Amino acid sequence: MSLRVRIPTPLQTLTAGKSEVQVSGSNLRELLAALETSFPGMRNRLYDEQGQLRRFVNVYVNDQDVRFLSGEDTALGEGDEVSIIPAIAGGQGVER
Amino acid sequence: MIRCEERVVSATEDAPQAEPQEQRAGVCVVSADQLAQIEDHAKATYPDECCGVLIGTPGERVVVASVHAATNRSVDGKRDRYEIDPEEILHLAHAGEKEEHEVVGFYHSHPDHPPAPSPTDVARAWPAYAYLIIAVDARERAETRAWVYDEDSKRFHEQAIVVEHDPSSASYNLASDLGN
């Protein structure tokens, strides 16, 4: 079952400039593994050294943050869409 | 058409200065109306930081099709921090698809500070996005510069802002309360 995955601009160097790709997976973990297989280097951008999804990477299934679903165990079905949204923040202040 | 010189800097006066170097950072194309609208947003939210999303076409020549004010949801204080709700970005990304546009960058203001990336901006930067930073002060003077983050050098490089006077392409959407 091939699902649509939206790729944000910072990660499009790994997808030859494509803003959306099709990969398969019955849950998010499988889908992201398939993403790495098809587009090497993606895993390193999405996961930290402990194998957890990076804090500053948000993943949505349809319009729901997977943190409020089942995380990487979130089941995926026909017609589901996955979106990767970088966390955007900053400002003139010092780090604290 | 107004063209700003390309130059390379790494951060504000609170951080080490970059050595001058030649490196292309591309071009960010905006309309005069879009530029006025993000600067007006910065003035309206002063002394807090404003923020927003740029929708358009990515690449070496980023073309901004529309700008969208976003809610500053920083929990560390809005005077010198900004944070954009990823759901706002998600919805804007979806909406942009109808025109074959995508999220190409963001803007935020630096009240009483230069329009250049701070160490905090560097720490939270993503490559390939256009970051417009608006310096604004109590006298409502505003200056906008564009930046793109390079992962290899771990620093921002300034993009030239090209202002194209095309009112038909100008589009502004207030996605949140300007009062932030």
Q: How far apart are CA A12 and CA B150, in angstroms?
A: 14
Q: Quick one: average pLDDT of A49-59?
A: 95
What pLDDT, on a 0 to 100 scale, did the predictor assign at position B167? 42
What CATH number should be reported for the domain holding residue B85? 3.40.140.10
Q: Structural domain of residue B92, as residue ranges?
A: 2-166
Q: Which A positions 42-61 lie with beta carbon below 8 A of chain B? A: 56, 58, 60
- Do B86 and A60 make contact, defined as CB atoms within 8 angstroms? yes
Q: Quick one: average pLDDT of A47-74?
A: 96
Q: Is A95 a domain residue? A: no
Supply the mean pLDDT for chain A: 95
Give yes or no for a contact between B15 and B153, defined as CB atoms under 8 angstroms apart: no
A54 chain-B contacts, CB cut-off 8 A: none
Instruction: Report the run of H or E that residue B36 belongs to, with start and end.
Output: helix B32-45
What pLDDT, on a 0 to 100 scale, did the predictor assign at position B23? 52
- DSSP notation for B64-126: EEEEEEE-B--SS-SSS-EEE-HHHHHHHHHHHHTTT-EEEEEEEEEETS-SS--HHHHHT--
Q: Is B130 a domain residue? A: yes
Q: How far apart are CA B72 and CA A63, in angstroms?
A: 20
What pLDDT, on a 0 to 100 scale, did the predictor assign at position A1? 77
Q: pLDDT tens digits for chain B (180 residues)? A: 333 333 333 333 334 334 334 455 799 999 999 999 999 999 999 999 999 999 999 999 999 999 999 999 999 899 999 999 999 999 999 999 999 999 999 999 999 999 999 999 999 999 999 999 999 999 989 999 999 999 999 999 999 999 987 644 544 554 443 444
> How many domains does one find in chain B?
1
> How many domains does one find in chain A?
1
- Do A92 and B80 make contact, defined as CB atoms within 8 angstroms? yes
Strands A81-86 and A2-6: parallel
- Do B86 and A92 make contact, defined as CB atoms within 8 angstroms? no
Q: Is B90 a domain residue? A: yes
**pTM of the predicted model as reported, rounded to 2 decimal places:** 0.86
What pLDDT, on a 0 to 100 scale, did the predictor assign at position B166? 63
CA distances from B152 to A62, A63, B71, B155 (A): 33, 33, 31, 8
ipTM: 0.93
